[in-house]
């Protein structure tokens, strides 16, 4: 289970970082979303992975750490708000700058069709 | 009431922001302005009250919801954090005062956003919990995103987009670092973390090291340390100057967090991880000073020049943080207050000068003369002398003191050479900027000679608004006052630094609730 979980987080971070390094805003926003998914999963794992254990004391002999779950909840809420903001900002950027590049202008080699 | 005093500098700005959104403040411009300025200054005075109570009764710990540390979140008011809370509250109040002259109407929700920003900054200063620090970072960031766009144009959108993306990545890294540290230490209360770091063994040490070093990335990004400083000049130069003046405190939040994490958690008592970040931070700080000085020399307009001065000050502060002696930390505290006030004042001056010079704005070239050369010139002179570090103002005291504090260190000679060269660069650039802005007029001389009385007329039309003047004078007064009261202030700084370095005492008060 640990290996699968770690591989998932790693893959998400890989995709996220790759997309963030693109020059257009849409892939960058997608990349940020992927990165925040990866972070949420990672935070969740910081309380150790366990099966069939509730976060309530006394219900069973095994119990899970509730704090990382609270962290993840906070991180999800904040990440959601920030993603909404960056989506709106990119739309505004598209309108203000006339293109969807993060740098605000289309690089010469793309303009000429040489990608 | 008195036992809740510690939480008030955090709660008041938040409540102020909410009050300002609701009627009658939300509808009526005049009421909103009055309420915003009044409540801003009330926050400042409450922070001052907290400062005095900390001075008399010592460090205060406030357990939110009465959940004691390390299980609940605590607010820790020690001399260092309360001093910075006072500074940010003052800056916030001065900024809303300045903006009542008209800048607040260039977009929506200026006043609530400023108060929410102060809410985040004060929370970040006071909190004793690392995850809570992240939450307050996000609070101040989301307000800063909106403020950055306030009254903006196309250039502004580009800078804001890059700033937001940079900071979102920074937040992700912050969370990963916190996840690692929680996984290893099992706590995120800073005092508890500091205690447990020393007990780590085996592979956990390396995991904690990774977590701690990832935090450098985050704080370097917030504090604009090389190589993560590239967002700052663009962002600060395209934001409205009054917003940039307010942002002067935001880089300091990064530096303050570094002080907390690398002096307290990974400080003297951290076992195998003692001073683990110092070597990294030292060289990055030195390089930041060099890059900032080059940026100052290359700046084409006054706002960009001040933005680069911010980078120089961040480099200096981080260098001092890495020295890890009580003396160096005291200088860092004194210098932090001085540089925040002076850079804020310079941003405001850049706005006023740019406004009065018309088309050329604040570009450092010959152009239309300013309409109130006497007033702005004297203010600029004071701010310039302070920022360069020439006697007799606060910059000089800070400079002498920091040179003394770094001489004994391993790399003292390198630091002295570099820092003094950087000061020379700043002296040259600021002097050139000042003489160009105030003395070099465009060669349309005959026109100007006739317009002697026209100039006076113009001065009356677009002269400095009383609210702007008051805000400017409060900030400018900081430099001479910090010089006159250098004795008590430096004593306070030494006391605050001693408390910061007093590991066992901090642990005792925060975790055990007494001596």
Q: At what angle do helices B154-185 and A25-45 cross, to 10 degrees?
A: 20
Average pLDDT over residues B400-409: 85
Distant-in-sequence, close-in-space partners of B133: CB < 8 Å, separation ≥ 6: B124, B127, B257
Mean pLDDT of B345-351: 91
Asked if A23 reaches chain B (Cβ–Cβ under 8 Å), the answer is: no
Average pLDDT estimate for B452-480: 77
Contacts of residue A30, defined as CB under 8 A and 6 or more positions apart, other chains included, come to A19
Burial annotation B458-492 (CB, 10 A radius, 16+ → b, else e) = bbeeebbeebbbbbbebbbebbeebbeebeebbeb
Q: CB distance A67–B182 less than 8 Å?
A: yes
Count of structural domains, chain A: 1
The answer to whether A92 faces chain B, any CB pair under 8 Å, is yes
Looking from the CA of A16 toward its CB, the CA atoms found within 13 Å total 19
pLDDT of B136 > 90? The answer is yes
For position B90, what pLDDT does the model report?
94
Tell me: the pLDDT tens digits for A6-33?
999 999 999 999 999 998 899 999 999 9
Q: Which domain holds residue A72?
A: 2-111
**Residue B510, pLDDT above cutoff 80:** yes
Contacts of B341 (CB under 8 A, 6+ apart): B87, B91, B475, B478, B479, B482
Please determine, for residue B514, whether its predicted confidence score (pLDDT) is greater than 60: no
Classify B61 as helix, strand or coil.
Answer: strand
CA nearest to A46 within chain B: B183
Q: Do A81 and B179 touch (CB under 8 A)?
A: no
Instruction: Please report, for the domain that includes residue A65, its CATH number.
Output: 1.10.287
- pLDDT higher at B416 or B356: B416
Average pLDDT over residues B97-114: 87
pTM summary value: 0.91
d(CA B19, CA B276): 45
The pLDDT of residue B515: 44
Query: A27 — contact with chain B (CB < 8 Å)?
Result: no
Q: Give the rounded percent of residues in chain B with a pLDDT score beyond 90.
A: 35
Contact B158 A67 (CB under 8 A): no
A36 interaction partners in chain B (CB closer than 8 Å): 168, 172
Using an 8 Å CB-CB cutoff, list chain B residues near A100: none
More confident residue, B26 or B399: B399
In this predicted structure, the answer to whether residue B449 has a pLDDT above a threshold of 70 is: no
Find the radius of gyration of the CA atoms of chain B. 23
Nearest to B32 by CA among B95, B88, B124, B112: B112
What pLDDT, in 10s, does the model give residues B355-370? 888 777 778 877 777 7
Q: Could you report how far apart the first and last alpha carbons of chain A are, in Å?
A: 42
The pLDDT of residue B1: 59
- Dmax over CA atoms of chain A, in Å, equals 68
Average pLDDT value for residue range B161-182: 92
pLDDT at B447 over 70: no
Query: Beta partners for A24?
Result: A101
Domain boundaries, chain B: 289-484
Write out chain A in H/E/C secondary structure. CHHHHHHHHHHHHHHHHHHHCCCEHHHHHHHHHHHHHHHHHHHHHCCCCCCCCECCCCCCCCECCHHHHHHHHHHHHHHHHHHHHHHHHHHHHHHHHCCCECCCCCCHHHHCCCC
Give the tens place of pLDDT for each residue, B22-35.
888 777 888 889 99
Quote the pLDDT of residue B51: 92
List of chain A residues whose C-beta atoms are within 8 Å of the C-beta of residue B165 = 20, 28, 32, 86, 102
Contacts of B154 in chain A (CB under 8 A): 96-97, 104
- Residue A58 is predicted with a pLDDT of 76
Cβ atoms within 10 Å, residue B348: 25
User: Does A96 have pLDDT greater than 70?
Assistant: yes
Residues B277-290 have a mean pLDDT of 87
Going by pLDDT thresholds of 50, 70 and 90, the confidence category of residue B106 is confident
Q: Classify residue A111 by burial, with Cβ atoms within 10 Å: 0-12, 13-18, 19+.
A: exposed
3 state SS for B347-376: HHHHHHHHHHCHHHCCECCCECCCCCHHHH
Question: What is the average per-residue pLDDT within B119-139?
Answer: 93
> Across the interface, do B161 and A25 touch by the CB < 8 Å criterion?
yes
Average pLDDT of chain B to the nearest whole number: 87
pLDDT band of B444, cuts 50, 70, 90: low
> Of B250 and A60, which is predicted with more confidence?
B250
HSE, side-chain direction, 13 A CA sphere, residue B298: 8
Distance from CA of A115 to the nearest CA of B (A): 23
pLDDT higher than threshold 70 for residue B454: no
Measured between beta carbons, the chain A residues lying within 8 angstroms of B131 are 71, 74
The confidence band for B512, taking pLDDT boundaries of 50, 70 and 90, is confident
Lowest average pLDDT, out of B269-283, B373-387, B415-429, goes to B269-283
Interface probe for A, chosen from B69, B136, B145, B157 (most Cβ of A below 10 Å), is B157
Average pLDDT over residues B192-208: 88
Whole-angstrom CA distances from B247 to B93, B242, B331 are 13, 9, 22
Which residue on chain B is closest to A65 by alpha carbon? B186
């Amino acid at each position: 289970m640990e290996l699968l979980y770690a591989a998932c987080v790693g893959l998400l971070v890989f995709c996220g970082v790759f997309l963030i390094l693109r020059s257009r805003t849409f892939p960058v926003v997608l990349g940020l979303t992927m990165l925040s998914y990866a972070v949420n999963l990672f935070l969740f794992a910081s309380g150790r992975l366990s099966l069939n254990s509730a976060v309530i004391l006394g219900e069973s002999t095994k119990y899970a750490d509730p704090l990382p779950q609270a962290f993840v909840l906070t991180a999800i809420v904040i990440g959601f708000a920030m993603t909404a903001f960056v989506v709106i900002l990119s739309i505004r950027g598209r309108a203000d700058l006339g293109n969807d590049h993060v740098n605000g202008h289309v690089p010469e080699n793309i303009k000429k069709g040489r990608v | 009431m008195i036992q809740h005093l510690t939480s008030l500098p955090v709660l008041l700005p938040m409540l102020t922001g909410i009050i300002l959104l609701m009627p009658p403040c939300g509808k009526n411009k005049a009421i909103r302005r009055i309420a915003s300025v009044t409540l801003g200054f009330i926050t400042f005075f409450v922070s001052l009250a907290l400062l005095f109570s900390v001075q008399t009764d010592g460090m205060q710990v406030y357990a939110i919801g009465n959940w004691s540390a390390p299980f609940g979140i605590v607010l820790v008011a020690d001399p260092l954090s309360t001093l910075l809370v006072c500074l940010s509250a003052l800056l916030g109040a001065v900024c809303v005062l300045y903006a009542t002259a008209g800048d607040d109407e260039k977009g929506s929700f200026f006043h609530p956003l400023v108060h929410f920003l102060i809410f985040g900054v004060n929370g970040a200063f006071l909190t004793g919990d690392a995850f809570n620090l992240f939450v307050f970072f996000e609070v101040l960031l989301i307000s800063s995103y909106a403020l950055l766009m306030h009254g903006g144009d196309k250039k502004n959108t580009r800078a804001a987009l890059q700033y937001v993306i940079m900071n979102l990545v920074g937040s992700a890294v912050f969370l990963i670092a916190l996840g690692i540290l929680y996984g290893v230490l099992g706590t995120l209360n800073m005092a508890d973390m500091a205690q447990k770091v020393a007990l780590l063994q085996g592979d956990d040490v390396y995991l904690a090291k990774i977590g701690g070093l990832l935090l450098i990335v985050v704080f370097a990004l917030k504090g604009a340390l090389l190589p993560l400083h590239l967002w700052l000049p663009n962002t600060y130069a395209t934001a409205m100057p009054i917003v940039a003046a307010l942002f002067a405190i935001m880089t300091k939040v990064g530096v303050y967090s570094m002080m907390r994490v690398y002096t307290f958690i990974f400080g003297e008592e951290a076992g195998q991880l003692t001073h683990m970040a110092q070597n990294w931070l030292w060289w990055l700080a030195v390089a930041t000073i060099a890059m900032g000085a080059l940026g100052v020399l290359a700046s084409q307009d006054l706002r960009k020049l001040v933005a680069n001065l911010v980078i120089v000050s961040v480099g200096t502060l981080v260098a001092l943080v890495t020295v890890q002696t009580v003396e160096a930390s005291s200088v860092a505290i004194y210098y932090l207050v001085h540089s925040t006030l002076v850079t804020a004042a310079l941003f405001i001056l850049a706005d006023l000068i740019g406004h009065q010079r018309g088309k050329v704005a604040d570009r450092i070239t010959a152009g239309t003369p300013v309409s109130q050369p006497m007033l702005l010139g004297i203010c600029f002179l004071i701010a310039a002398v302070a920022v360069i570090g020439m006697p007799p103002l606060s910059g000089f005291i800070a400079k002498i003191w920091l040179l003394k504090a770094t001489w004994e260190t391993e790399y003292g000679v390198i630091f002295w050479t570099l820092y003094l060269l950087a000061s020379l660069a700043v002296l040259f650039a600021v002097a050139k900027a000042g003489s160009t802005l105030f003395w070099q007029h465009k060669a349309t001389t005959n026109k100007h000679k006739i317009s002697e009385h026209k100039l006076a007329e113009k001065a009356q039309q677009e002269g400095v608004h009383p609210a702007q003047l008051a805000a400017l004078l409060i900030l400018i007064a900081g430099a001479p006052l910090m010089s006159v009261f250098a004795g008590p202030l430096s004593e306070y700084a030494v006391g605050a630094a001693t408390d910061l370095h007093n590991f066992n005492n901090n642990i005792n008060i925060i975790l055990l609730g007494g001596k």
